[in-house]
Amino acid sequence: MDTKNKDKAYMIWGIAACVYVIVFFHRVATGVVKDEMFEAFGLTNSEEAGSLFALLGSMYMYAYMFMQIPTGILADTLGPRKTITMGTMLATVGSLIFACAPHIVVAFIGRFLVGIGVAVVFVCILKIIAEWFPKEKFGTMSGCTSFIGNLGAILAMAPLAYLNSFIGWRNSFLMISGITLILGILGWYFIKEREPVNPVEEMNVECNEWSRIWEVIKKILKDRALYPIMIAYALTFGSTMALTGTWGVSMFQDLYKGISKTTAANAMSFITLGVAVGGIIIGKLSDTMKSRRKPMILFGGMQLICWLIVVFIPMPWIVLNIVFFILGLTATSFVVSWAYAKERHPKQYAGITMSVVNFAGFLGGAIVPQLIGVVYDKLPHDNMQMVWQTALGVLTGLISIAFVCILCIPKEKEVEQENYDFNKLDKTT
């Protein structure tokens, strides 16, 4: 890559990554203002408060999940620039609706629109990386993207708690909608698609794209080697989101008496910071080792140990924060799943391939927090420590299943033997 293209590549990626910051903010923001939303939407004395609040957070995830396949198609056809811009405009509208919602049903609609809007960003960034950077840097750049995005999640922890205490949660989300709009405008002006090496050939691919997309998706869905990694991604990401995005702040306020909301939010920030750092480490490690499976096994095993420590070993709050950081750092095994999936299929279908894997991850991100919401509703609230210990036990069980799935991922040599040949498909279309 020459210096001119290298600078341009980093500039385009940098703008898209800044948009990704707001994606993460929206993803976890509701968990910090849980009590205020319980009061605003009349959930305080509701027997279904846990399920409804979890659904409020999961509306983002469901929208994000259902948009993954369309996002891959949009990234491969319209391109990242138009797709990211349209998405951020819709997210701006959704954030405004959420901030002004008079009833929880309207808040559901706002969150769903936000989810649809921001869902397009990450796959488009992966598409940008695949187009503008060398293959051997894909894992590293994916990890760097995860790091920057997680800064948004950190902003939605203690900083949002502080902001909420000064201007309230509604004004906070109005402010975020304005920032989302500004980032969308920047994306329109600065994000560019790479010019094809062979414009005529590229044009033919685009003309035929819609006729072959369904066949491509069916080929990907028949790739049995992807299913263990998709299940592991869903359970790992879902469990992490159950803590950082929905229940963690309230959970550890009850488990550690006397802990303030800001202190608990700071603890969740340690998980998010760990995810940010871990994304870079595992991406670089994967590229250096020239293996996707080995780093996933290493991180998956360490993460399971961290969850077992949190559940079964009482510890001082300061020590727990350190464990939280390691838990977040090792939760990033899913970062490698995008590279793993991308390398099994041709480059022109990178967006669709990675979106299929992402679909599974965000299905877990939607369902697992709701599962904890059911635990919250079904168990008596006269002993909240028992409620949350049960919830942590459920999450640890899911992480155990995820680790078993990681162990079932085919080795790289097996992956190479199972690669699908799309040449026949291209000729028939």
Would you say residue 217 has pLDDT above 50? yes
> What would the pLDDT profile of 20-49 be if each residue is shown by its tens digit?
998 888 887 877 787 788 888 877 777 777
pLDDT average, residue stretch 160-187:
88
Weakest mean pLDDT among 233-237, 340-344, 368-372, 422-426:
422-426
Would you say residue 376 has pLDDT above 80? yes
How would you classify residue 193: left for phi > 0, otherwise alpha for psi between -120 and 50, otherwise beta? beta
User: Is residue 163 within 8 Å of residue 262, measured between CB atoms?
Assistant: no
Q: From the centroid of its chain, how far is CA 277?
A: 15
DSSP 316-332: -HHHHHHHHHHHHHHGG
What is the distance between the alpha carbons of residues 162 and 179, in angstroms, rounded to a whole number? 18
180-183-188-193 Cα dihedral, nearest 10 degrees: -110
User: Is residue 246 within 8 Å of residue 31, measured between CB atoms?
Assistant: yes
**120 inside domain:** yes
3-state secondary structure of 191: coil
**297 inside domain:** yes
What is the distance between the alpha carbons of residues 345 and 298, in angstroms, rounded to a whole number? 25
**112 inside domain:** yes
Tell me what pLDDT residue 190 has. 87
pLDDT average, residue stretch 151-169:
82
Would you say residue 399 has pLDDT above 90? yes
pLDDT band at 304 (very low <50, low <70, confident <90, very high): very high
Would you say residue 343 has pLDDT above 90? no
Weakest mean pLDDT among 199-203, 373-377, 403-407:
199-203
- pLDDT above 70 covers a percentage of the chain that reads 89
Which of these, 183, 169, 153, lies nearest to 24 by C-alpha position?
Answer: 153
What is the distance between the alpha carbons of residues 212 and 423, in angstroms, rounded to a whole number? 12
User: Is residue 334 within 8 Å of residue 232, measured between CB atoms?
Assistant: yes
**123 inside domain:** yes
DSSP 246-257: IIHHHHHHHHST
Tell me what pLDDT residue 417 has. 39
pLDDT band at 201 (very low <50, low <70, confident <90, very high): very low
Give whole-number Cα distances, 388 to 75, 154, 249, 336, 356, in Å: 41, 23, 11, 31, 33
Average pLDDT in the chain: 81
H/E run at residue 335: helix 335-342
Tell me what pLDDT residue 96 has. 94
What is the distance between the alpha carbons of residues 402 and 392, in angstroms, rounded to a whole number? 15
What is the distance between the alpha carbons of residues 81 and 190, in angstroms, rounded to a whole number? 8
Tell me what pLDDT residue 207 has. 40
Which of these, 392, 365, 391, 396, lies nearest to 376 by C-alpha position?
Answer: 391
| 406 CB-near residues (< 8 Å, 6+ apart) | 228, 229, 232, 293, 296, 297, 300, 333
Would you say residue 427 has pLDDT above 50? no
Domain range for residue 250?
3-192+210-417
Give whole-number Cα distances, 195 to 139, 203, 222, 225, 226, in Å: 23, 11, 32, 33, 31
pTM, two decimals, is: 0.72
Task: Show the tokens assigned to 322.
Answer: 């350190």
What is the distance between the alpha carbons of residues 411 and 414, in angstroms, rounded to a whole number? 5
Weakest mean pLDDT among 70-79, 220-229, 411-420:
411-420
**204 inside domain:** no
Would you say residue 422 has pLDDT above 70? no
Tell me what pLDDT residue 26 has. 86
User: Is residue 113 within 8 Å of residue 238, measured between CB atoms?
Assistant: no
Would you say residue 196 has pLDDT above 80? no
Question: Which residue would you say has higher pLDDT here, 324 or 158?
Answer: 324
Tell me what pLDDT residue 355 has. 75
pLDDT average, residue stretch 381-405:
92
Would you say residue 59 has pLDDT above 90? no
What is the distance between the alpha carbons of residues 23 and 63, in angstroms, rounded to a whole number? 13
- In this structure, what CATH number is given to the domain that contains residue 124? 1.20.1250.20
Q: What share of the chain is helix, strand, coil (3-state, %, to 5)?
A: 85, 0, 15
| 157 CB-near residues (< 8 Å, 6+ apart) | 28, 32, 244, 265, 266, 268, 269, 272
pLDDT band at 351 (very low <50, low <70, confident <90, very high): low
**177 inside domain:** yes
For the chain, the domain total comes to 1
Single-letter amino acid code for the residue at 164 = N
Weakest mean pLDDT among 98-102, 214-218, 232-236, 368-372:
214-218
On the CB side of 363, CA atoms within 13 Å amount to 14
**28 inside domain:** yes
Would you say residue 160 has pLDDT above 50? yes
Weakest mean pLDDT among 73-82, 180-189, 367-376:
73-82
339-141-330-268 Cα dihedral, nearest 10 degrees: -130
The beta strand positions in 261-362, using DSSP E, are none
Tell me what pLDDT residue 43 has. 74
**320 inside domain:** yes
Would you say residue 384 has pLDDT above 80? yes
